Structure 1
Amino acid sequence: MKKIGLFFVFVCAAFSSFAQLQRPKLIVGIVVDQMRWDYLYRYYDKYSNDGFKRLLNEGYSCGNTFINYLPAYTAVGHSTIFSGSVPSIDGIAGNDWRFQNSGKMTYCTDDSTVSTVGATGDAGKMSPHNLWVTTITDELRLATNFKSKVIGVSLKDRASILPAGHNPTGAFWLDDASGNFITSTYYMNELPNWVKTFNQGKYIDKLIKKGWNTILPIEQYTESTKDNVSWEGKLSGATVPAFPFDLRKAYAANKENFRATPFGNTLTLQFAEAAINGEQLGQRNATDFLTINCASTDYVGHMTGTNSIETEDVYLRLDKDLGKFLKILDAKVGKGNYLVFLTADHGAAQAEGFMKDNKMPTGFFPSLKKSLDSYLQEKFGTEKLVLGLENDEVSFNNAVIDSKGLDKGTIKKATINFLQKQMGVLYAVDESKAAIAPIPATLREMIINGYNRERSGEIKIILQSGWLPNHYKTGTTHGLWNPYDTHIPLLFMGWKIPHGESNHTVYMTDIAPTIAALLHIQMPSGCIGKPITSLTDKINK
């Protein structure tokens, strides 16, 4: 009986050990803002061995990962990555959107019921209350009876709030006015001591002290166009869009300028390290989750375009910062004890001037609200039938249409007829009837996934390849269906992840269910994605 008892204890201990080994100590989700998939390889020869190359050479790369909704914007990308859902279901229809019933605009994380914590002003009046579904971070908290800690970090409020979910340990973002990382009373009434200590360090002053020059001799930036071209924008306070940049001068001119430097990423990863230390993430008896958005790549990309030396330099510097951060994870959590994934919220188009100079398809799409309104007024005898064209969607003035007894279907048809005659318009689609629209199936699915009847306009405008809104005379933007906007990197590395690569097509919506499968927890509540079995099957063998 004693032997049987000892055997039973041994078996129970073995099963207990096995259960603990099913989850890493820490998951780190890194979202690089506006990172096109091809950046992994465009700058590959100049990357160090410790950052992007380490992720590629030690981890698992899903080389054909795509966004499967429209529009391809930051808030939508972050909510989709961490929920496995799409705007139709999760409610995050853009960075901003117009409520169709009231006609009012809102920002994705605005919340007037909460207050700023860590600074004065309204930058902290934010929460995830507009997100209708749970996230993978929520599901981890639920699965561990809230023993797991979840921390969201970004310069951007939305890119910290949406990934961290509804009930995280904390979500923190940068307040430009004070230079502090802040939060809101939705999460807590006072900043943790480790955040206060970090803010007291005045790291921005230290990071901008020496200005911004290229990390390599400028003649080595052979993957980019020459410095100071007509389609590049510049930091406010700078006279030309060319190196070197006096960051003290730029910061004094406008504190938001700091975001459009590579040192915004440096600051973010420094704060992430402070979170690991302050919350003991990955060093406790539960699996923790840290979400990080490196946002400066987006600000620089918008300002200078995808082919600028500034963009190349910000990626070379981010590569070094990532290498340092991965070594911190090695030291604090231990190799093999953490799981990291890196992806992007969207890509970006090339600048119009760059495309034009190189004889590629491109053009500027004008603002059509006034001309469309005039056209509809002439046709229906009623003015102000259009409220706006946000997110490449037409929102109608439903109050006027109803009060005048006008037929919405007829107005929609007239609008589509008008739009399809405009230069640069590939398709104009009634979103409520996208399933039967005579357009490629891929576009139909993206429109359907992105259409939220309460928060999306009613007519979707699809532009021709390479076309940009006409207010982007310099720099660039994103949001469309094309691969330059929707083909994103997806890399997994660390705990149980084999080295490998797959070119099977997967989608942004597949990231959250893959993490759920690896952790053996429930998928988020609005998830429509599937686990990436080319990866999970190798781990389960």
Structure 2
Amino acid sequence: MKKLLLLFIIGFALAQCAGVKSKTNNSSTNSASISTSTIKRPKLVVGIVVDQMRYDYLIKFYNKYGENGFKLLMNTGYNLQNVHYNYIPTYTAVGHTSIYTGTTPTNHGIISNNWYDKFEKKSIYCVDDDKYQSVGAKDGGQKSPYRMLTTTVTDQLKLAQNMNGKTIGISIKDRSAILPAGHTANAAYWFEGGNTGKFISSTFYINELPSWVNDFNNSGIANSYLEKTWDTYYDINTYTESIADKNDFEEPFKGKETATFPYNLAELRKSNNNYDLLKTVAFGNDFTTDFAKATILGENLGKGEFTDFLAISFSSTDYAGHRFGVDSKEVEDSYIRLDKNIEDLIQFLNKEVGQGNYTLFLTADHAAIQVPSYLQTLKIPGGYFDSKKFVEFVNTISLTHFNSTEIIEDISNYQIFLNKDKIKELDLDILEVEQVFVDEILNFENVYKSVSAHTLQATSFTSGILQTLQNGYNQKLSGDILYVPNPTTITYSHMGSTHGSGYSYDTHVPLIFYGQGIKQGASNEYYPIVDIAPTISSLLKIEQPNGTTGKTITEVLK
């Protein structure tokens, strides 16, 4: 595989002069550009978001990590040990957006991955945009960040430099590449699985892929990983931090009876949608690292007069967590291997950009719950929310109190959307209707809290789960009644882990700053995730994103 990557790097260098230009680039011919030589900024900022990484993975697997990956960041960077998401829901799109905008869904408008649009009267996806076309493949690229209503720190860096410098977002997931890169990015690239197996983009950014991306896609690297067998990096008997490999709490791949090592990927890809399999296994993070290195070389990041920004999201940890669960050996192995990816990336940055010329931060878009069915075997409270029965329950409430089920327009994301036209037609008071549902749904098993939209608009909650719910509420986009399940209660299969709540198992994530302008140290002080963007803005001496509600973490900056 190293030979394939070496051949690709040589190939892209030869073809670079024929490469496709992005919307803007470092080589600005604007004679009015102001030199940044008097402002000390890093040549490159690298933002790393690990999808579904709990903070305790840094501690739980510490003795399995090498000295130059996570440990290097923890011990020589600034390790913030008590960072939490301060809103509900803790989903991928919302997490990435909040990290880079410095605010919560109340302001930035990304209220979930998918949500019910009460204006279009249908469910929508956070980055879908049919105004644009796919670049690099037939499908999968009709995307943009237009639903994100505020700027990102990446946008502010471009604005501060008169649109000079390059911003690139990369991830296996489209939303994880697009939203961090912001509205002004030169490009965002994500992996299209199935039978495509390529990194693609959208005409929102570019009209065709640069030659270096085509070279990478044609190099055979993606296919080479699916010719491997995924086995544990170390002897599986040493993986004492996780439960038995064979258990009842993991979802096997199609074509394999048990979720147990080893995994013959060449065989499994046939029944698991081909290149989609690469997303789910640990090699997906190796593949993302390969593409990150190719991006740095292909775009000459960190080589120009202006500061560049590379937003990387590692998605395969999330796919593994959903399928196998927090306590699985597959998740442990994924993080042991991700540690090697982090080491590889740091060494590459030191060589290509220069140690002391870049700043890096590492965090996660959310954490995850331990599998409730597993916790139940340990007599720890937990369970599963029955959405189908809940819909029936809500319709019964509606019939009993209002003699109609038509006033319920949609139930999704733990929110109830009311049909305002029907309520008006029935001459009902919207506040009274809301309160009936708020009071009655508390009688449903596993509903812990409920609140109306009008209460969230009129009351300021200063602590607790209702404060996080309020921070995730958007007056224009969210539903009319919001509810919260009991702790350790999820809407999901009885196998695998998920996330989305405001409880600590979903909110507590790592945050480490490293590199130019960063002190060495650690802190147990509480910080909300929205403090990352203003901190990076302060480091870069630029304006904060225009919806920022976070504050600069001054203790990390030199």
TM-score by length of 1: 0.93
SS at match of 1:512: helix
- Paired residue for 2:392? 370
* Structure 1 residue aligned with 2:353: 333
Distance between the aligned counterparts of 2:550 and 2:462, measured in 1?
Answer: 21
Q: Which runs of 5+ in 2 are unaligned?
A: 1-34
TM-fit CA distance, 1:143 = 0.6
Equivalent position of 1:216 in the other structure: 234
Offset, 1:193: 0.7
Alignment partner of 1:113 is 2:135: no
Q: What residue ranges of structure 1 are gaps of 5+ in the alignment? A: 1-15
Which residue in 1 is equivalent to 2:533?
512
Name the count of aligned residue pairs: 519
Q: Percent identical across equivalent pairs?
A: 39
1-side partners of 2:391 and 2:36: how far apart? Answer: 63
Matches of 1:520 and 1:480, distance apart in 2? 34
Equivalence for 1:128: 145
Q: Distance in 2 between matches of 1:185 and 1:101?
A: 26
CA contact (8 A) 1:431 1:448 kept: no
Deviation track 1:41-61 (CA, whole Å, cap 9, x = no partner) reads 000000011111111011001
Alpha-carbon offset, residue 137 of structure 1 = 0.4
Shift of 1:85: 1.4
**Which amino acid is 2:512 matched to?**
L
Distance 1:185 1:526 in 2: 27
Cα distance, 1:443 vs. partner? 2.4
2:212 aligned with 1:203: no
2-structure distance, mates of 1:222, 1:421:
42
Q: Superposition pairs for residues 145-294 of structure 1, below 5 Å?
A: 145-177=162-194, 178-253=196-271, 254-255=273-274, 256-294=276-314
For 1:308, the equivalent position in structure 2 comes to 328
How far apart in 2 are the matches of 1:195 and 1:492? 29
1:19 equivalent in structure 2: 38
Change (3 A) 1:125 1:102: closer
In structure 1, C-alpha distance between the alignment counterparts of 2:236 and 2:476, rounded to whole Å: 49
Q: Aligned residue for 1:47?
A: 65
Match of 1:465 in 2: 487
Tell me the CA shift for residue 18 of structure 1: 6.9
Q: Secondary structure at the match of 2:363?
A: strand
Cα deviations by residue, 1:233-254 (Å, 9 ceiling, x for unpaired): 1222222111111212222212
Q: Write the distance in 2 (CA, Å) between the matches of 1:127 and 1:274.
A: 23
Q: Distance in 1 between matches of 2:336 and 2:300?
A: 29
Q: Aligned letter for 2:496?
A: G
What is the CA deviation profile of residues 448-493 of structure 1, one whole-angstrom value per residue up to 9, with x for unaligned ones? 2211122211222112211111x32110111111111001100011
- Mapped to 1, the partners of 2:418 and 2:231 lie a distance apart of 48
- Cα contact 1:124–1:182 (8 A) shared by 2: yes
Aligned to 1:499: 520
**What is the alpha-carbon distance in structure 1 between the residues aligned to residue 457 and residue 159 of structure 2?**
36
CA deviation after TM superposition for structure 1 residue 440, in Å: 7.1
1:319 Cα deviation (Å)? 0.5
Match of 2:408 in 1: 386
Match among 108, 117, 121 for residue 99 of structure 1: 117
2:281 partner letter: T
1:317 paired with 2:337, answer: yes
* 3-state secondary structure, aligned to 2:245: coil
* Alpha carbons of structure 1 residues 77 and 257: separation in structure 2 relative to 1, 3 Å: same
The Cα shift of 1:19 comes to 2.1
Separation (CA, whole Å) in 2 of partners of 1:463 and 1:410: 23
| 1:83 corresponds to which of 101, 109, 115 | 101
In the TM superposition, residue 99 of structure 1 has moved relative to its aligned partner by: 1.8
| 1:122-155: CA deviation from partner (whole Å, max 9, x where unpaired) | x100000101111000000011111110000000
Instruction: Kindly indicate whether the alpha-carbon contact (under 8 Å) linking 1:175 and 1:181 is maintained by their aligned counterparts in 2.
Output: yes
1:86 deviation in Å? 1.1
Contact 1:306/1:348, CA 8 A, preserved across alignment: yes
CA separation in 2, counterparts of 1:399 and 1:174?
Answer: 42
Q: 1:31 to 1:285 in 2, by over 3 A?
A: same
Give the letter aligned to residue 201 of structure 1: S
CA contact (8 A) 1:70 1:481 kept: yes
Q: Contact 1:211/1:244 (CA < 8 Å) preserved in 2? A: yes
CA distance change for structure 1 residues 287 and 299 in 2, over 3 Å: closer, same or farther? same
Q: CA deviation at 1:97?
A: 1.1
Equivalent position of 1:412 in the other structure = 434
| Contact 2:368/2:505 (<8 A) preserved | yes
Please state whether the residue corresponding to 1:171 is helix, strand or coil: strand
Q: Distance in 2 between matches of 1:441 and 1:220?
A: 42
- Matching residue of 2:10: none
| 1:143 paired residue among 160, 169, 188 | 160
Change over 3 Å in CA distance of 1:357–1:438 after alignment to 2: farther
> Is residue 449 from structure 1 mapped to residue 467 from structure 2 by the alignment?
no
SS of equivalent to 1:126: coil
| Segments of 4+ moved more than 6 angstroms | 435-440
8 A Cα contact 2:127 2:143, kept in partner = yes
What does residue 8 of structure 1 align with? none
Q: Any idea what SS the aligned residue of 2:517 has?
A: coil
Aligned-partner Cα distance in 1 for 2:528–2:461: 21
Counterpart-to-counterpart distance in 2, 1:101 and 1:525 = 25
Question: 1:100: Cα distance to partner?
Answer: 2.5
1:482-535 deviation per Cα after TM superposition (whole angstroms, max 9, x unaligned): 111001100011112121001111111100000000010000011110000222
TM-score, with structure 2 as normaliser: 0.90
Letter in 2 for 1:128: P
Contact kept, 8 Å, 1:301 with 1:311, in 2: the verdict is yes
CA shift for structure 1 position 429:
1.1
> Quick one: distance in 2 between partners of 1:517 and 1:17?
16
CA distance in 2, matches of 1:518, 1:315: 29
Q: Tell me the SS of whatever aligns to 1:389.
A: strand
Which residue of 486, 510, 518 corresponds with 1:489? 510
> How big is each residue's C-alpha offset from its partner over 1:203-228, in whole Å with a ceiling of 9 and x where there is no partner?
12111212211111111110000012
Separation in structure 2 between the aligned mates of residue 240 and residue 403 of structure 1, nearest angstrom = 55
Q: Which amino acid letter does the alignment assign opposite residue 518 of structure 1?
A: L
Q: Which residue of 2 aligns with 1:524?
A: 545
The farther-off stretch of 55-64 and 254-263 is: 254-263
